[in-house]
Structure 1
Amino acid sequence: MNTTQVERIARAACADADIGPAGILPIKVAENAIFRVPDQHVVIRVARAGQEHAARRELQTAAWLQAHNVSAVQPMGSRADFATIESRPVTLWKELPPHRNGTEREIGSALRALHKLRVPPFLSKVEPFVRLEQRIDSASSLSESGRQWLYKRLADLRIGWEELPSGMPRSPIHGDAWEGNVVTTDAGVTTFLDLERASVGPPEWDLVSTAIKHSSFRWISAERYGAFCDAYGYDVTAWDGFQLLRDIRELRMTCMAAQAAGSDPKHVAQAQLRVDCLRGVVGPRPWAGWQPIV
């Protein structure tokens, strides 16, 4: 679907909730699309077809976090917070007050609080390889040898996951705890966004997202990574399972870029660079040149 078609769905969701859609603005239009209606202080999330269960779980997770004093984005509280429109699940959320991306220290503190909670019955096990095969299938810009290498890498990491060394007790995890998904309001409240990947799993899965920003890409300094470790109280890079989770995270990032390159030529060079890094063509970590896919 293009932006116009997805916006039509967002407007229909507003109508169902008796919300005027005047001034609707796209925040992000990709596999999941997000719009905001500034005058109504509402954010509309249009998920992929077939994701009804996941969308309902996001709403449930948000309510559960609020009940346990962990700040997260909140549903609008309308009669139409969830709807399926043109086969796509749509959820309505309260717009956050002014905010910025969380710092490493803030993210570490927020994850520490999240990981201390008891596992609720509605969360399912983390799926670290979800949709990776489909992304590789869509990687039409890569050579056949590159695509086959990604399939083989995926298969090897699946085996490794089954043999993951023991670590911290399994807990609720965010699943995608990058700084854009953990923000801090102007009032100083650090808040979780994008609860799509919330699940039960090793807490280390959340910690690796920040660790590789330093160890794999040098996106952050040693001092900033140290602040993250201090706030959380643990350095995941010292754990025996770190390398495996690092490799899975890097593969996920590479497959995302490869899929994007299959439909947009501007991402071809970035996708190829990431594959080359994983294959050892450009030398050891930290790698230079990894850029966000937008």
Structure 2
Amino acid sequence: MLTDSTGAILRAACAAAGLRTDGAVVLNRSENVIYKLPGGIVARVARAGQQAAARREVEVARWLESVGMPAVRVIPDIEQPIVVDERAVTFWVELPPHRHGTPTEVAGALRKLHALTPPGDLDLGTLDPFVRLDDRIERATTMSADDRAWMRGHLAELKQRWTRLPDGLPWCVVHGDAWVGNVVATEAGEIILLDLERTSIGPPEWDTVHTAIKFKTLSQISAQDYQSFCDVYGHDVTAWTGYELLRDLREFRMTTMAAQTAVTIPADRAQADHRIACLQGKLGPRPWSGWRPVPPQ
């Protein structure tokens, strides 16, 4: 049942689009609220103030479809996004049964994406690794005052380090949030990119560093899996002098995500505190144990 404020926004957007909401169910609540609608449609309700990002994500999806890059598809013939109370709602084709991609599948998808010629009629913009981080820290009401002060200071340090990012591979089209949950494999063997709101022009290492973190920081994949990822992609980001900076940035983003979800999901507070303690060096050197997905999956 659509009884909360987000449900009311969804009802209004669906009415404008001529879509039904009976039987709608929530699939996920994190940066966005994702609903499954009748007729094989998925609706995405963004946070307030994200109209431009939602519009660009729709445009990116249409561009990727036009060049044959497997990615989530928008519902055609609907002017998107539909904005209700400053919240953008977009409508997508429901995926067939799928699973998270393996390291080699992620590597293959990224290699194909990074080889694309940027669109001439769509401004993808430049990667911003700091988007929403200040806001997440401010809104993380479960964070202690000491931890909040430390996070602000660490963020300022990361911003300074970013200005000295060393040269690496040529900048290209990047996904922007290429963890395995955003690269999925269908039962038919198609590898599909999801969550395109961070797609932009940037260092390709930003996309490959997440898999390196799963190996080097979290020990969630084996050395063999990571080597297979590097072999398929054709480059090992950990051998680059900019690796530690991108690693630290991605770990910081992952930590602020946990702090954000802890505000509405009390069970995630321990995870947020754990990640902050890791960044602060209180739990020893990497690899760190105890990191689990948030929100619960």
When normalised by structure 1's length, the TM-score is 0.95
> Does 2:181 correspond to 1:180?
yes
Residues in 2 aligned to 1:21 and 1:260: alpha-carbon distance in whole angstroms: 26
Q: Deviations over 1:197-239 (max 9, x none)?
A: 1111000000011110110001111111112111111111111
1:132-147 matches, cutoff 5 A:
132-147=133-148
Report deviation, 1:263: 4.3
Q: Which residue of 2 aligns with 1:43?
A: 42
Question: Deviation string for 1:138-164 (max 9, x for gaps)?
Answer: 233333222111111111110111100
Task: Return the alpha-carbon distance in structure 2 between the equivalents of residues 132 and 82 of structure 1.
Answer: 24
1:52-82 deviations in whole A, cap 9, x for unaligned? 1111111110111111111111111023442
Question: Aligned pair 1:220/2:237, yes or no?
Answer: no
CA apart distance, 1:3: 6.4
Q: After alignment, is 25-34 or 10-19 more displaced?
A: 10-19
Summarize the Cα distance change of 1:123–1:87 in structure 2 as closer, same or farther, 3 Å threshold.
Answer: same
Q: How does 1:74-93 map to 2 (within 5 A)?
A: 74-93=73-92
- C-alpha distance in structure 2 between counterparts of 1:51 and 1:171, whole Å: 24
Aligned residue for 1:115?
Answer: 114
| Alignment of structure 1 residues 154-193 onto 2, 5 Å | 154-193=155-194
Q: Work out the percentage of aligned pairs sharing the same amino acid.
A: 49
What residue number does 1:22 align with? Answer: 22
Distance 1:139 1:14 in 2: 31
Deviation of 1:293 (Å): 1.5
> Equivalences for 1:1-294 in 2 at 5 Å?
4-37=4-37, 39-120=38-119, 121-294=122-295
Write out per-residue CA displacement over residues 154-206 of structure 1, whole angstroms, 9 at most, x where no aligned residue.
Answer: 11110111100100111111101111111111111111111111111000000
Q: Closer, same or farther in 2 for the Cα pair 1:95/1:234, shift >3 Å?
A: same
The normalised TM-score by structure 2 is 0.94
2:183 and 2:193 in contact (8 A); partners too: yes
Asked if the contact 1:13/1:80 (under 8 Å) is kept, the reply is no
Query: 1:52, 1:262 → 2: CA distance?
Result: 23
Aligned length: 292
CA contact (8 A) 2:71 2:192 kept: yes
- Report Cα offsets for 1:256-293 as digits up to 9, x if no partner: 22233344432222122111111111111000111112
1:135 and 1:65, CA in 2 relative to 1: closer, same or farther beyond 3 A? same
Mark the runs of 5 or more structure 1 residues left unpaired by the alignment.
none
**3-state SS, counterpart of residue 47 of structure 1:** strand
Q: Is the 8 A contact 1:105 1:227 kept in 2?
A: yes
Q: Deviations over 1:18-74 (max 9, x none)?
A: 22222111111234111111x411111111121111111111101111111111111
SS at the partner of 2:127?
coil
Please tell me the root mean square deviation across aligned C-alpha atoms, in Å.
1.5
Distance, in Å, in 2 between the alignment partners of 1:136 and 1:82 is 28
Of 60-69 and 74-83, more deviation after overlay is shown by 74-83
User: CA contact under 8 A between 1:141 and 1:262: conserved in structure 2?
Assistant: yes
Q: Is the 8 A contact 2:30 2:261 kept in 1?
A: no
Structure 2 alignment gaps of length 5 or more: none
Contact 2:70 2:193 in 1 (8 A): yes
Question: Helix, strand or coil: the match of 1:45?
Answer: strand
Secondary structure of 1:92's partner? strand
Letter paired with 2:12: A
Q: Distance in 1 between matches of 2:201 and 2:98?
A: 28
Q: Point out the more displaced range, 102-111 or 264-273.
A: 264-273
- How far apart in 2 are the matches of 1:258 and 1:92? 28
Q: Which moved more, 1:148-157 or 1:76-85?
A: 76-85
